[in-house]
Amino acid sequence: MKLIQRPRRLRRNETIRALVRETSLTPDDFVYPLFACEGEGVRREITSMPGCFNLSIDELVREVEAARSEGVRSVILFGVPDEKDAAGTGGYAEDGITQRAIRAVKREVRDVLVIADNCLCEYTDHGHCGLVKDGEVLNDPTLELLARTAVSHAEAGADIIAPSNMMDGFVIAIRSALDDEGFEHIPIMSYAVKYASAFYGPFREAAQSTPQFGDRRGYQMDPANAREAMREAELDWQEGADILMVKPALPYLDIIRAVRERFDAPVAAYQVSGEYAMLKAAGKLGWIDEDRVMMETLTAIKRAGADIILTYFAREMARRLA
Ligand code: PBG
C-alpha cells in the first residue's frame, strides 16, 4: 500500500504545526466583563466565579489599569447598585453606579474601550429586564427606559452600547435616541441572539439579578431554535446594529457559524458565567487541565466564526498570550 496523503507530515513538531495553524487568538479578540458596585476598597470575590469580583469604582479602575497594562484593550461594564426599584431607575440615573464607573474608567485609564451593557435586570427589584405589569414584562414602555439608559451611558463616555435585554425593537429604539442626542458615532453591539440559558446562573449571583418570579423565557430565546436566531439577527441588523452577538458561546457554536455565514457584520460571542464556572470548578478539582481547556474553548469559539469574544478569561488570556 502506498499512502499519498499523510496529514501527519504537517503535525510533526510545534514549528510546522504553527505554520499551518488556521485559527489563532490574540489579546485584541477579547472583551473583559467587570462588575461595579458601591463603596470604597471593595473587592468581593464572586463565589461561583473564582477570580472575578464585585469591585467598587476605585478598585475597578485599578483592575482595568492592570488588565490594560497586560494587553486587555476592551472591557464591558455591569453595575450592581445597592438600591433597586420596580422601574430600574438606577439604570438610567445620571449618577448611577454604571455611569459613575464609566466616567471613572474613561478619566483614569488611557486607551481602553469601554462597552456599556444595556439592560434593566440589575436595577429592578423584581429582577426582570423590563417594566412589569400583572406578571408580564412590557415591551414598548421598556424601550423608552433602555433608550434613556443608552444615552446616559454615552454621556458618561461609553464607546459602545451593548443592549442585552431582548425586548423587540431595542436596537432601533436605542439607535434613534443616540442619534437624536448627537451620538450617531457610537456603535451598537447587540445581544442579537440571546438564549434563555441556565448558564447565566453565576452572573445572577454576581449581579443579584435573579428574577423574583417566573423566568426570562418570555423574552429570551428558546435554546432549541436556530432559524429563529437568524430572524433575530436579521431584525437587529436591519435596525442598525453594528456588531451582532450570540450568547452563550460554546453550547451555540452552530449559531455563531450560521450568523457568521449569513451576515457581513462583525460577530461577537459571549462565553458566559456558567461556561467559566464549569471550567474553573473542574480545574480546581484537578479533573481537567484548566489552562488547556480555556485555550481550546476560546479557539473553538473563534474557529466557529466569532471575531470578538467576551470572556471572564480575558485578563488571563492576555497574560498567557504575552
Ligand atoms: C443582562 C445580562 C445577563 C448576562 C449579560 N447581560 C444576565 C441575564 O440575562 O440573565 C449574562 C452574562 C453571563 O452569564 O456571564 N440581561
Domains annotated on the chain, with CATH? 24-321 (3.20.20.70)
How far apart are alpha carbons 30 and 291 in whole angstroms? 16
pTM above 0.75, yes or no: yes
Query: What are 94's three cell numbers?
Result: 445620571
The tens-digit pLDDT sequence of the chain (322 residues) is 899 999 999 999 999 999 999 999 999 999 999 999 999 999 999 999 999 999 999 999 999 999 999 999 999 999 999 999 999 999 999 999 999 999 999 999 999 999 999 999 999 999 999 999 999 999 999 999 999 999 999 999 999 999 999 999 999 999 999 999 999 999 999 999 999 999 999 999 888 889 999 999 999 999 999 999 999 999 999 999 999 999 999 999 999 999 999 999 999 999 999 999 999 999 999 999 999 999 999 999 999 999 999 999 999 999 999 9
What are the phi and psi torsion angles at 61 (to 5°)? -60, -40
**Is 146:124 a contact under the CB 8 Å cutoff?**
no
**Is 163:220 a contact under the CB 8 Å cutoff?**
no
Cα(22) to ligand 1 centroid in Å equals: 31
Ligand 1 test: best mutation among 199, 203, 280, 310, most atoms within 8 Å of CB?
203
Does residue 203 have its Cβ closer than 6 Å to ligand 1? yes
In the annotation, is 84 catalytic?
A: no
Whole-number pLDDT of residue 57: 98
Nearest CA to ligand 1 atom 6: 164
**Is 75:32 a contact under the CB 8 Å cutoff?**
yes
Whole-number pLDDT of residue 1: 86
The H-assigned helical ranges of the chain are 14-20, 57-69, 97-108, 140-156, 170-180, 201-207, 227-238, 253-262, 273-284, 290-304, 314-321
In the annotation, is 2 catalytic?
A: no
Residues 6 or more apart whose CB falls under 8 angstroms from that of 145 comprise 87, 88, 91, 92, 120, 130, 131
First and final C-alpha spacing in the chain: 46
Query: What are 182's three cell numbers?
Result: 448627537
Which ligand 1 atom is at minimum distance from the Cα of 129?
16
How far apart are alpha carbons 9 and 29 in whole angstroms? 30
Residue 22 has a CB neighbour count (10 Å cut-off) of 6
